[in-house]
Chain A
Amino acid sequence: MRGVDPAFDSADEWTAVSPRLATARRLVIALVSVPLAGLVVLAFLVGRDATIPSAMAWAALGLWVLGIGWSWWLVGRRVRSFGYCERGDDLLVRSGIMFRRLVIVPYGRMQLVDVRAGPIDRWLGITSVQLHTAAATTDAAIPGLTPEVAAALRDRLARQGEQRSAGL
C-alpha cells in the first residue's frame, strides 16, 4: 500500500529510524498500564460482590487488554512509518499511518537543530533530532536515532544550513 501513494513516495532514498524507538514507546505503555492493571485487579478483588455485574466488568477488562494489545502493535507500524531523506537542497521527514505527514525543510531555512533524549531514550541509546525554522508550524522531528547517527546528522545539517542561510 505504501508503494503506490503518490503524495508520500518517491525515488528518494529513505532512512528508517531505529527499531529501539518501538521498544522505548512500548516501555512507556507498559509503565503506564502495568500499575493500572494492578489497580484494576485490586478493584476486582475488593469489589467482588459489589454492584458492577461481573459480565460487564469482564467485558471492560477484555476491551482494555485488547486496546493495549492494539497500541502495542500500532507502535511498531508507527515507528516503521518514520523516515527521513537528505536531498541536495532540503531534508524530508515523513511519518504517520492514519494521518500521514511529509515535511520538506530547505537547508537554508533551518534556524536551529535540537538533539535531545529523555531518560528512557538514553537508557536504550536513542535520541531525537528536531529542526526549527522561523515558522512555528514546521514540525520536523526525527525520533529514534542512535546518538552517533543523530550527532552526524546534526553536524551535516548545520554545515548545509551555514552554507545557505540568510536573514529571515
Chain B
Amino acid sequence: MDSPVGDDLGLGIRLPDIGRVNSRGHRAVHPITPVIHGLSVIPFAIFLTIGIAGSLVGSLGIAALVVGVGGALVAGVIATGYQYLAWRALEFWFDEDGDLRVDSGVLTRAQRRLQLSRLQSIDVSQPFIARLFSMAAVTVEVAGSGDSRVELRYLSLGDARALRSEALARAAGLHHDTVEAPEQPVMRVAPRDLALSLLLRTNTVTLLGATVLILVVSWQAEGFAGIGLALVTGGLPVAIVITEFIKYFDFTVAESPDGLRLRFGMTKTQTRTVPPGRIQAIEIVEPLLWRRMGWVRLRVNIAGVADDPKEETLLAPVASLKGAEALIARVLPGVDLAALRWTTAPSQARWRSPVQWRSLAASSDDNVVATRSGRITRRRAFVPHPRTQSVRVTQGPWERALRLATVHVDSTPGPVAIAALHLAAHDARALADAQAARAGRARTIDTTIRWARPEDQRPAGN
C-alpha cells in the first residue's frame, strides 16, 4: 500500500535509490544531498546579495541584479562544497545491540548513539527543495532530555521508508528484515474543514473582530491613527491561518502495527510514525465557534518531539468529536470517555474562577487520569497511568481561603498541561495520592516498551 509520501511527490526529477554501503558496512545519505543544501541557500542569498550589491552599485538596476544573482550562485556553490565534505563525513548504521549509530561532522566530529528501545517517533519529511528530487529527511526521536534526535538528510523516498521500517522493526523487537507493516487509513481532514476551522478559532475571530471595530471607529473619527494597528490585528490572524493551512494541509491519520502514521503539509510534507504507547498525554480542545460543527482539535505530548518548542504536536488539527473519540480509543485502548465519573470543583470555586468554574473537574479510571476546564474554549486532558511522571498539589492564598487546591499531573514537555484546577482541598489530596499510587502500579505492568516481541505479537491492522 503506497502512501502519499511514498508516491512520487517529487516535482520532476527522480534519482535512483542508492543504499550506499562503505567498507565497514556503514550507510551514507544520498549523494545529491550537497546539491539540495546548496540550492536551499540560493533564494535567501539572492535577497541578501541583491541588497548588498544594490547599496554598493548605488541603485537597484540591472547591474545590482546581475551582481546579486552571481553572488548568490557563488554562495550556493560554496555551500554545496561544504555540504559535500559534510556528506562524506556522515555515516550511519545499526550496531550489534540494534541501536542506531550516526557519525558526522567536518570540523567537530560527533558520534551519536540512539537507543531504539527508547524510540518515541520517526518522521519522514520532504522540504520543498528536497521534493524536487523526490528526496526525504528522516528524523528519529528517542526519549531523553536535551538533544535526543537525529535528522538524516537526504535519502531517496524508497531508502527513507526502508530505514523507517527497519528502525521501527528493531525498536519493536522484531527481526529487522520484517516487511513494512501494512496500514489502514483512519481519518483525513478535508481542506475546506481545515480552512473553516482555522478561521473559526477563538483567537482568529477575536482579532478579526477587533480589526473591524478599529476600522469602523477610525472611519467614524475620520482619522488614520487606527490603520497601523488594524494592519497588525488583521494581518496576524490571516498569517497564522495561512501558515497553519499550509502546514496541516491534507492531514491524514493511518494505523499500522508500527503505530499511528500522521501525514500532513503542502510545501513541506511530513510523515510522523508514533509507535504504540508513546503518546504521553492527549487533550481535546473545543473552541466556542467549533461546537456548532461538533469539531475538536486533538493535541498530544510525545516525548522528544516537543524539544522543538515551536511545535504544537497534533493528532488532528480538526476532527468530528466522534472521529476524535475513535482516535483516542486507538491510542489509549480501554478508555471510555463517556463512562468517566467526574469529581467537580465545589461551588466556592466560583470566587476563584467565575467563568470556568462549572467546567472544572477531574476523574480517573483504570487506565487514565483526566481533567476538564474552560468555558469559552473547553478542554479535556488525559494522561495514561504509566505515563504519569509526578503529581503536584499547589495552593495559593486565595485558594486557601476558599479551601481549594489544584492538582497537576506532570507529563513530558509538550503542548498539553494537565491540571485539575480548584478542587476541594481534601479531594485534591486524595486524587494526588491515588494518582501517585496508580502511576507506580501501572508502571510495573506496562508492556509497550518492546511492543511487538513475538510472544505478544499483535495481529496486523488491529
List the interface of chain A (C-beta within 8 A of B).
Answer: 5-8, 10, 89-90, 98-109, 111, 132-140, 164, 166-168
Contact = CB atoms under 8 A, between A and B. Distances in A.
Interface of B: 117-118, 120, 143, 145, 303, 388-397, 400, 403, 405, 408, 410-413, 417, 425-426, 428-429, 432-433, 435-437, 439-440, 443-444, 446, 449
Contacts of B400: 5, 100
A7 B439 CA distance: 19
8 contacts: A5-B400, A6-B429, A7-B395, A8-B429, A90-B440, A103-B392, A108-B439, A166-B446
Contact of B389 (A5, A100, A135, A166): A135
A140 B403 CA distance: 24
A102 B412 contact: no
Contacts, number: 118
A99 B443 CA distance: 31
B440 A107 contact: yes
B274 to A, nearest CB: 13
Given A8-B429, A109-B439, A137 B410 contact: yes
Given A164-B440, A167-B117, A106 B390 contact: yes
A106 B395 contact: no
Contact of B143 (A100, A108, A134): A134
B308 to A, nearest CB: 14
A6 B403 CA distance: 9
A129 to B, nearest CB: 15
Contact of A8 (B395, B397, B435, B444): B395
Contact of B411 (A5, A99, A135): A135
Contact of B440 (A99, A108, A111, A137): A108
Contacts of B405: 7
B114 to A, nearest CB: 13
A90 to B, nearest CB: 5
B390 A135 contact: yes
Contacts of B413: 135-136
B453 to A, nearest CB: 14
A6 B145 CA distance: 35
B440 A101 contact: no
Contacts of A132: 145
Most chain-A Cβ atoms within 10 A of its Cβ — which of B143, B397, B440?
Answer: B440
A134 B389 contact: yes
B443 A105 contact: no
Most chain-B Cβ atoms within 10 A of its Cβ — which of A7, A99, A103, A164?
Answer: A7
A6 B414 CA distance: 31
Most chain-A Cβ atoms within 10 A of its Cβ — which of B117, B303, B390, B408?
Answer: B390
Nearest to A140: B390
Contacts of B411: 135, 137
A10 B389 contact: no
Given A135-B389, A135-B390, A167-B118, A5 B425 contact: yes
Given A103-B390, A109-B439, 18 more contacts: A7-B405, A8-B395, A8-B429, A98-B397, A100-B393, A101-B395, A104-B391, A105-B390, A106-B439, A106-B440, A108-B440, A109-B389, A133-B410, A137-B408, A138-B410, A166-B443, A168-B143, A168-B412
Contacts of B117: 167
B437 A89 contact: yes
Contacts of B429: 6-8, 10, 102
A6 B431 CA distance: 12
A7 B408 contact: no
B410 A106 contact: no
B412 A135 contact: yes
Given A90-B436, A99-B395, A164 B410 contact: no
A39 to B, nearest CB: 34
